Structure 1
Amino acid sequence: MEALNVVLSSPLQQLKDEHVLLRKDMNLFYEITEEIEFESGPTVIQEFANLYEQISAFNVKLKAHSKKEDEGLFPMMARHLGENDKTIEVMEFEHEKAEKHLMDFLTEAEQAGPAIDEDDAQAITVYAVQAYATLIQHFAKEETVLFPLAEKILSIGEKEELERLFLE
């Protein structure tokens, strides 16, 4: 695939670099989900509290990243690709799916509260695993398909506009 050799302009490279940082956080929270899955007793509850903190912080970072794509990159690309192209629709759907998994995790964890039991903690953790799986695939798709495509179809002016948007 020649897409891997594409040199990205500054705003697209910024999005890709943010993926690296987000992936680091995701790998950390994924390790915690594995602990929860394979441990038992008080360890599960402790790890679940830890996971809740991690996901809460991660969710804020992910929202800031997604906003750049949802409000900047995606609409710009959609104008070029035309209404029959489903690329952006798929990307937006994946954003919504990941956000829903994260919100389900946070909401159910909050509803369960500090008195959560081991079974509930393990059940709720599944949402974090689903968010992880969705985002790993989604980031890969953006990096191999979407960003190189954006590099090709967006004008220099549009890339400069993106860069300005990302500074806000």
Structure 2
Amino acid sequence: MEDSKVTFSPALQQLRREHVFLRADMDIFYEITEEIEFESGPAVVQQFAKLYEQISSFNEKLKAHSKREEEGLFPMMARRLGENDRTIEAMEYEHEKAEQHLRDFLTEAEKAGLNINENDAQMITVYAVQAHATLIQHFAKEEKALFPLAENILSNDEKKELERLLLVIS
């Protein structure tokens, strides 16, 4: 189903809109990863400090978005899809994979501390690149398949309940 032909309920529109803002942040941190890859010397360490700040901020926003999906949308869909369907399980796995890449980046950056060198900065940056790749694919799957599926299988009452839930899950 082509997502452009589906009119989404307010709750699903909200989740899609959050992707737009998350992608904008991802574009910024991805540009920094490219600069780190192609720079050398002290510029790499300076860019890495910017990347760390960007990833730290992004990680908090992503956690909030993931929580709304995992505590709101996913359980509703799982009830409708039944226990033999693995759609939601796959989405949760992708959340975990992206979050693990971000955790690895932040953990390794904190271990390296202020004395980080160019090589370590470039190696640790790979985690940010991996998170970016995972999330780009994941958002596309949600927008092209999961959200249209949710629009079709959830009742109007469930969509209203989801809208209410998204307000209280933060």
Fold-level similarity (TM above 0.5): yes
Give the structure 1 partner of residue 84 of structure 2.
84
- Give the whole-Å Cα distance in 2 for the aligned partners of 1:70 and 1:21: 19
Query: What CA deviation, in whole Å up to 9, does each residue of 1:127-153 have, x standing for no partner?
Result: 000000000000000000000000000
- Give the whole-Å Cα distance in 1 for the aligned partners of 2:20 and 2:55: 17
Matches within 5 A, 1:3-152: 3-152=3-152
Is 1:160 matched up with 2:160?
yes
- Give the whole-Å Cα distance in 1 for the aligned partners of 2:20 and 2:163: 19
**Alpha-carbon shift at residue 159 of structure 1 (Å):** 0.8
**Alpha-carbon shift at residue 166 of structure 1 (Å):** 1.2
**Alpha-carbon shift at residue 4 of structure 1 (Å):** 2.8
Counterpart residue type for residue 36 of structure 1: I
Bigger CA drift: 83-92 or 139-148? Answer: 83-92
- Give the whole-Å Cα distance in 1 for the aligned partners of 2:5 and 2:21: 21
SS in 1 for 2:116: coil
Percent of aligned pairs sharing the same letter: 75
Query: What CA deviation, in whole Å up to 9, does each residue of 1:10-44 have, x standing for no partner?
Result: 00000000000000000000000000000000000
- Give the whole-Å Cα distance in 2 for the aligned partners of 1:4 and 1:81: 23
SS in 1 for 2:43: helix
- Give the whole-Å Cα distance in 2 for the aligned partners of 1:111 and 1:60: 20
5+ residue gaps, structure 1, are: none
- Give the whole-Å Cα distance in 1 for the aligned partners of 2:107 and 2:165: 31
5+ residue gaps, structure 2, are: none
Query: What CA deviation, in whole Å up to 9, does each residue of 1:76-105 have, x standing for no partner?
Result: 000111111111010000000000000000
Aligned pairs, number: 168
| Alignment root-mean-square deviation, CA | 0.7
Counterpart residue type for residue 101 of structure 1: H
